[in-house]
Homo-oligomer: A and B are copies of this chain.
Amino acid sequence: MSRGLAVASGASRGGRLPRQGTSADALPEAGFEQWPEDVDFGPLADLIGYALRRAQIAIYQDFFATVGELGFTPQLFAALVLIERNPSLNQTRLGRIMGVNRAAAMAFIDRLEDMKLVAREASKSDRRSNAVVLTKLGRERLSMLVQAVREHDARASQNLTASEVSTLRRLLRKF
Which of A55-63, A106-114, A115-123, A124-132 forms part of the interface with chain B? Answer: A55-63
Known: A12-B56, A172-B55. A26 touches B7 (CB 8 A): no
- A18 and B3 contact, CB distance less than 8 A: yes
- Residues in B neighbouring A61, C-beta threshold 8 A: 5, 7-8
Size bin of chain A's contact surface: 35 or more
Q: Residue A7 contacts which of B4, B18, B169, B172 (CB distance < 8 angstroms)?
A: B18
* A138 nearest CB across to chain B (Å): 14
Q: Residue A169 contacts which of B48, B99, B160 (CB distance < 8 angstroms)?
A: B48
- Residues in B neighbouring A172, C-beta threshold 8 A: 48, 51-52, 54-55, 168
Convert A93-115 into 0s and 1s, putting 1 for each residue whose CB lies closer than 8 angstroms to a CB of B: 00011011110000000000000
A1-39, CB < 8 A from B: 1-19, 21, 26-33, 35-36, 39
- B39 and A26 contact, CB distance less than 8 A: no
Closest 10 CB pairs of A and B: A11-B14, A4-B18, A10-B14, A12-B56, A8-B60, A13-B14, A8-B57, A40-B85, A51-B172, A42-B85
